[in-house]
A and B are shown apart, each in its own frame.
Chain A
Amino acid sequence: MIPFVTERGQVALLDQNNVDTDAILPKQFMKSIKRSGFGQFAFDEWRYLDAGELGMDCSKRPLNPDFEPNQQKYQGASILVTRANFGCGSSREHAPWALLEYGFRTIIAESFAEIFRGNCLKNGILTVTLDKSIIDQIFVEARSASHYYVCVDLESGTVSLPDGVSIPFKIEPNVQEKLLNGWDDIELTLKHAEKIRTFEASRWQQLPWLAP
């Protein structure tokens, strides 16, 4: 996993509650057996005016002018700001893969669906939960500015807005540490291999019908 320390970047706005993973990456793109190649299809059915399929050259596809992140000023954005319950629905990790490849390292929202948030963190995408009032403020300010840059500092757990105001956010210390260091979960867990074996043996002894 790529470590996450700070991200100073342009914001893109997605002004909707309950954005589901089917919308983030529609099912036809999940047929790929790779982890990459999804970024150009992120939000496909909202982002483009035509129907998308794997293998298409998206550079020639007609963009939907009503999809706010398509606006010129949001191009190159690395921070997505959105609303409540972002990433609800399917557990497909293809959704965070698509967002990461699109260019987002941080997603700021009022709240996140649980599985989606976990999948983001596993891929080095920082999920930041802020109060609705702050999100409202970002929407108003970003829409009226020609560019709107925000700085997210994981070490201090703060989001700094262009006016210099610094807003703290909560993150579990163990998650923070993993992201800052880019640690591999599996490698960390395998340090407990002996404990796992002991637990497993004891479990199968107590509940023998579970032993394979």
Chain B
Amino acid sequence: MPTTLYDKLWDSHVIAQGECGECLLYIDRHLINEVTSPQAFDGLREAKRQPWSRGSIIATADHNTPTSHWERGIEDPMAREQVEVLDQNIRESGALAYFPFKGADQGIVHVVGPELGATQPGMTIVCGDSHTSTHGAFAALAFGIGTSDVEHVLATQTLVMQKSKNLAVVINGDLHDGVYAKDLALAIICQIGTAGATGYAIEFMGKTISQLSMEGRMTLCNMAIEAGARTGLVAVDDVTVDYLKGRRFSPPTEQWETAVEYWQTLRSDDSAHFDRTVHIDAKHIKPMVTWGTSPEMVVGIQGKVPNPAQEQDLVKRSGLERALRYMALTPGTPMRDIKIDKVFIGSCTNARIEDLRIVAKLVEGKQVASSITQALIVPGSGAVRRQAQAEGLDLIFTAAGFEWREPGCSMCLGMNDDRLSPGERCASTSNRNFEGRQGMGGRSHLMSPAMAAAAALSGYLTDITEASQ
């Protein structure tokens, strides 16, 4: 029977199945950060249990770590304690790899894993972080979990789960210049909503997807959770295989061909049944920008802030009105009239080398607008940072007036020193524009790195397709 990619991945990891359809699923790779793991390790100790498989663990500190003045260490005592507790837990439990604060390869776990080849097709990958869906770009069944499940995986190398339904998001056509994977992700969320894929695993397919780089695919899968799906997937092709060749944890030379042969089976069969299919024409997608406090509150850059009065549902209307109040915006305002205070280019969505190259190309020889109070560029990992510096990108950024930082989650969620102050408006390449997400009272507009770079140069939300002409 023809099978979807999700079904293949699921079925190959089922150890046992209960009467009600719940499955005991084997977990191949466990990514660990400092925020969602301390209580899990405590739980293990209290129950006098040992980690099942040290060799599945990749750990790094990312949420709390500062991105500047590393010589000062972590000044916030609670953040420092969390990072030190991770150090201690990994020392005790062991791991396949650990990238501590200030380590050469430290960075955001969803950037570090793939670039080291620790993310591989056919794996199940979990982490106490919802953006674990990123790794689905490699045809891996990857999803975020809570701390109780972190403990469950540590103790048993499994999870008890119900199978999701299959959703195909089929995207065909060529993307216009200045339109990127981030715009695709926001356009999908605009169409189906932030709960549109709840209960589904999304497979992104079609010609447009096959033309995306691995970085672009990771951006897309990263945002699957913002559409309500735990998991986003892309089938294996030559792009996947080429990316993984020669990376630190990729299969060794003597097993490479066998691995590739297996990986190439990781695609949905022709005529496999999907419970739901969404079709999108790439040529209709414009650069997208969020205006509100949910990723579904998004329009094309040429659009205007919507009018809640046009919404019939009273609860939805009230939500739109609340978002407008929080964002201090007026219905009908052209998006391009919105003035920006800060710019953040980074996060597990958009802090890879390709993202930084795009930004460098746009800002070379130009200057950040004088009205911008801070423009941050935060690489996703030590490796990305070194690569960018080897290419001279850091010099382009600093000459243009950007701050070039050390790797980490940074202003994406403001758990560290990088955050917005009340009322500050930010052009951000991160993934969530919730109230207070980047700092209490901060106002976040999500967009692609190219769009954030354009906003930095003009001081306003700017249409990159016009700015680059």
Contacts and interface: CB of A to CB of B under 8 A. Distances in A.
Question: Do A and B actually bind?
Answer: yes
Contact of B129 (A18, A85, A91, A193): A91
Contacts of B79: 31
B26 A186 contact: no
B18 A88 contact: no
A85 B434 CA distance: 14
A35 interface: yes
Interface stretch (B47-55, B271-279, B353-361): B47-55
Contact of B152 (A23, A111, A186, A212): A186
Contacts of B39: 33-35, 93
A114 B28 CA distance: 22
A192 B24 contact: yes
A72 to B, nearest CB: 23
B262 A189 contact: no
Looking at B38, B81, B194, B414, which has the most chain A CB atoms within 10 Å of its CB?
A: B194
A27 B434 CA distance: 12
A195 B18 CA distance: 14
What 4 pairs across the A-B complex have the smallest Cβ distances?
A: A212-B55, A209-B251, A93-B146, A119-B146
B381 interface: no
Contacts of A54: 78
B462 interface: no
A207 B434 CA distance: 42
A196 B318 contact: no
Contacts of A199: 15, 26
A92 B36 contact: yes
B319 A18 contact: yes
A200 B26 contact: yes
A185 B146 CA distance: 13
A119 B148 contact: yes
Interface in A12-26: 15-18, 20, 22-23, 26
Contacts of B28: 210
Contact of A209 (B24, B146, B255): B255
A85 B440 contact: no
Contact of A16 (B16, B19, B157, B319): B319
A209 B315 contact: no
B436 interface: yes
Interface string A98-133: 000000000000010111001100110000000000
Interface of B: 15-16, 18-20, 22, 24, 26, 28, 35-36, 38-39, 42, 47, 49, 52-56, 63-64, 76, 78-79, 81-82, 85, 96, 120, 122-123, 128-130, 143-149, 151-152, 155-158, 160, 162, 194-195, 198-199, 228, 230, 251-252, 255, 258-259, 262, 294, 296, 315-316, 318-319, 322, 413-415, 432, 434-437, 440
A173 interface: yes
Interface of A: 15-18, 20, 22-23, 26-28, 30-35, 45, 51, 54, 83-85, 88-94, 96, 111, 113-115, 118-119, 122-123, 172-174, 185-186, 188-190, 192-193, 195-196, 199-200, 203, 207-212
Looking at B122, B148, B156, which has the most chain A CB atoms within 10 Å of its CB?
A: B148
B158 A189 contact: yes
A113 B195 contact: yes
A189 B156 contact: yes
A199 B12 CA distance: 10
Given A185-B160, A186-B155, A31 B15 contact: no
Given A115-B230, A173-B20, A212-B96, A91 B26 contact: no
A39 B354 CA distance: 42
Given A16-B318, A192-B24, 8 more contacts: A30-B35, A33-B81, A45-B436, A89-B130, A90-B413, A196-B157, A209-B251, A212-B56
B53 A212 contact: yes
Contacts of B85: 33
Contact of A93 (B53, B147, B199, B413): B147
Contacts of B259: 207, 209
7 contacts: A17-B315, A26-B436, A26-B440, A91-B36, A186-B155, A200-B157, A212-B54
A150 to B, nearest CB: 20
Contacts of B316: 17
Contact of B148 (A30, A90, A122, A207): A122
A83 to B, nearest CB: 6
B145 A115 contact: yes
Contacts of B42: 33, 35
A18 B42 CA distance: 32
A122 B146 contact: yes
A115 B52 CA distance: 23
Given A16-B315, A185-B160, A93 B55 contact: no
A118 to B, nearest CB: 7
Nearest to B47: A186
A40 B295 CA distance: 28
B155 A22 contact: no
A61 B176 CA distance: 52
A196 B252 contact: no
Nearest to A85: B195
B15 A192 contact: yes
A85 to B, nearest CB: 4
Contacts of B22: 172, 174
B260 to A, nearest CB: 10
A51 to B, nearest CB: 5
B319 A91 contact: no
Contact of B145 (A85, A91, A185): A91
B144 A91 contact: yes
A195 B16 contact: yes
A29 B296 CA distance: 26
Contacts of B228: 85, 88, 113-114
A189 B454 CA distance: 52
Contact of B262 (A26, A33, A207): A207
Nearest to B316: A17
